[in-house]
Structure 1
Amino acid sequence: MISVTIIDDHPLVRDGIRGWCARADPPIEVVAEFADPEEFFDAESAPTTTAIVLDLQFPGRPLDLSVVARLSAEDRRVVVYSHRTDPDTVLDCLERGAAAYLSKEEGGDRLVEALHAAVTDQPYHSPTMAKAMHSGRAAIRPKLSEREREVLLIWFQTESKVMVAQQMYLSVKTVDTHLARIRTKYAAVGRPAPTKAALVARAIKDGLVTADEL
């Protein structure tokens, strides 16, 4: 069963998400709810769930997308669920590791779909994401972390994700997570790379790896 933590300051929104999750097929379990990201980070024992539904704006706080990066760095699948739909914010969240980005106008069915896609490392494009991907930033190179670049290079140099995991002392699941985020970042700038060959071509063209390194 998929389990979810909700971080949103609106009780009605949390109630709505909880209801959509309960009616999902199969059902999605809402394990915990927080009205502010700091409540989540300050919790003595942060709930272990397969995904987090995250709002971006909270009373008395400026917009802070570092929360997305912080959660993603902990290998949590983050689905942003926000009223903001401007392309820069959407792409910035995806570049910081969000698995998906939905507008609160998109409703429960799409949120459930996004949660299922996030926990199975499947690509998901909401209408909000699709619009952002066709914005003026569509031609830019995605910003990969040094860790992501390292995973990508070793994956290119070896035969399997298992070998990457062994060489980097990571779990295969963590390797999968890094590769899924890299693909999401490429999709976010309008340059999807669904296969290994496509990723190689993109990475060489963008200067992330060189032919000699391969």
Structure 2
Amino acid sequence: MITAVVVDDHPVVVAGVRAWCALADPPITVLDSGPTVATAWVGPGAGADVVVLDLQLDLSGPAYGDLKRLVDAGRRVVVSTMRDDQETALTCLDIGAFSYLTKAESESHLVAAIHAAAANRPYTPPALAGALGADTNPHRPRLSEQEINVLREWFHCESKKGVADALNIKVSTVNTYLTRVRAKYAGVGRDAPTKAALVARALQDGLVRIDEL
């Protein structure tokens, strides 16, 4: 059973998400909902597989701190927000969100994003695809051919063992290559702490295309 907690201060939105999740295949059980991120930390929501987070605003802009604390705690977060600008979308992926959706996107995309996050996979809805395609960040780490091969294969596999089997290498070697890739991205100021963030980086840098994921 897939479970979720919804952090959103709009009751109509929450009701819609609950209905979409109940009709999903496989179904998603919304354990709790509330207007603040505290809902994801205490009560039933603390044990949810996926956090659906409305990126609320504080005095300085989007409340990225809430997202970062959830990601740092190992939570799988799908951001669902009214904001549709490229900078916000890419920042959320940089922090470690599994996906980023605008509330203008259909219920099928939100359900697909929750299913993907529960399975530790990224999901790229249309708005996010547009943000990734428009990114022109000039800072590109120099990855070796084998690092790129491991990265691409990992995007297609459910596990690192699958990568190792496909490339005829050891799982420990897969881990080493992925660690090197993350270190290289961190070295140019473009941290990629999660698989979703690495997908974003690979798309930004032209290492993979959206239709290949």
Common fold: TM-score over 0.5? yes
Query: Would you say the 8 A contact 2:5–2:40 is kept in 1?
Result: no
**Shift of residue 136, structure 1, vs aligned partner:** 3.8
The amino acid across from 2:171 in the alignment is: S
Query: Would you say the 8 A contact 1:79–1:115 is kept in 2?
Result: yes
TM-score, structure 1 as length reference: 0.68
Residue 4 of structure 2 is matched in structure 1 by 4
**Shift of residue 62, structure 1, vs aligned partner:** 4.1
Is 1:189 matched up with 2:212?
Answer: no
Q: How does 1:32-181 map onto structure 2 within 5 Å?
A: 32-41=32-41, 43=42, 47-57=46-56, 62-141=61-140, 159-160=170-171, 180-181=195-196
Runs (5+) with no aligned partner, structure 1:
143-151, 165-177, 195-214
How many Å separate the matches in 1 of 2:92 and 2:11?
A: 23
Name the SS for the 2:47 alignment partner: coil
Deviations 1:106-155 (A, max 9, x none): 1211100111111112232111111111224354448xxxxxxxxx9xx9
**Shift of residue 37, structure 1, vs aligned partner:** 1.5
Across the two proteins, how many residue pairs are aligned to each other? 171
In angstroms, what is the RMSD of aligned CA positions?
3.3
The amino acid across from 1:159 in the alignment is: K
Q: Identity across aligned pairs (percent)?
A: 34
**Shift of residue 67, structure 1, vs aligned partner:** 1.4
How many Å separate the matches in 2 of 1:115 and 1:187?
A: 22
When you count helix as a share of all residues, which structure comes out higher?
2
Name the SS for the 2:51 alignment partner: strand
Query: Would you say the 8 A contact 1:133–1:190 is kept in 2?
Result: no
